[in-house]
Amino acid sequence: MTKPILRMKTITCLIAALAGLSRAALAAPETFDFKDPKGVNNAVFKLDAPLEAVNGNATGISGTVTFDPADPAATRGKIVVATASMHVPNTMQQGHMLSDKWLDAAKFPEISFEAKELKNVMTSGDATTADVSGAFTLKGIAKEMTVPVKFTYLKDKLGQRVPNQNGDLLVIRATFTIKRSDFGIMPGQMEEKVSDAIELTLSIAGASPR
Amino acid sequence: MSKRILRLVAAILIVAAVGIWFFRGANRGWTKTSVPVKKTDEVTGITVDDYQKRFVPGVDFLGAAVVASAFLAGASFLFRKPQPQT
């Protein structure tokens, strides 16, 4: 009589242990790669000077972010924008922008943001908002910043974007403003044509294949 | 004769430039060599401005046409009026 009871207890313990393991596996943080095969990941920049407004975007996005839907506060990662991928509609402006006087794309080929800490994390459904603190690096100068970010976790949606591939997607959206003078980009010069304040809007999706 | 041709070319140039500028969008900003076309990814909802090559003349194009036209019209005054034979 005792033997079957013992066997039952063992099986129950095993099932519980397996359930715990699978829960742990489900809650494991995922690493999302932001190099987008569809080419829609983009960072928009807007400058509104008294004499001239400059709008453009950059599509050379890469980087990885580790996101755990069960613990979004633990999110860490780095997003990189290729300086040379920045585009404005006027060829002459484009040349000036990437030249050594302004962004010096040849010497500083990357603009990046590295997330180090998340605060005010709020999750509702598949969307999480947080204030992300980290280092924003532009033209070789790193500056600590806090940026409001919205994460949208799209479970099992990778297959809808990339055929024959299973996995999850993470969409990151953020809008924030930097000052070019903080990064040594012609500080105090030509502000009537190129404003000091630059509004940046990041809209990117990362993939975590299984 | 040359005087008249130069003035005619100057007039055609300015009219053509204004016509091109007007029919290509009457852009009051700088000349653009590419224009953004919005593209949206249905799964993620991300919208991107996909830049396509297109020439959209701006005020600098008009300015250059005015300068060139004024130069041609001005040059026409260098030609002397043929003196009547006595």
Chain A: residue whose CA lies nearest to B47: A40
Q: Would the CB atoms of B45 and A89 count as touching at under 8 Å?
A: no
Q: Would the CB atoms of A161 and B43 count as touching at under 8 Å?
A: yes
Is B41 at the interface with chain A, CB within 8 A?
yes
Q: Say which DSSP state B28 is in.
A: -
Sequence-distant (≥ 6) Cβ neighbours of residue A92 within 8 angstroms: B30
* B34, B40, B43 member nearest A157 (Cβ): B43
Q: How high does pLDDT run on average in chain A?
A: 90
Four-CA torsion A175, A97, A80, A41, nearest 10 degrees: 60
pLDDT for B3-52, tens place per residue? 889 999 999 999 999 999 999 999 988 899 999 999 999 999 999 999 99
Three-state DSSP state, B10: helix
Closest CA–CA distance from residue B17 to any residue of chain A (Å):
19
What pLDDT does B30 receive?
87
pLDDT for A131-146, tens place per residue? 999 999 999 999 999 9
pLDDT class for A118, splitting at 50, 70, 90?
very high
What is the rounded average pLDDT of the residues A20-38? 74
What is the rounded average pLDDT of the residues A64-88? 97
Give the phi and the psi of residue A199 in degrees, each rounded to 5.
Answer: -90, 125
Closest CA–CA distance from residue A159 to any residue of chain B (Å):
10
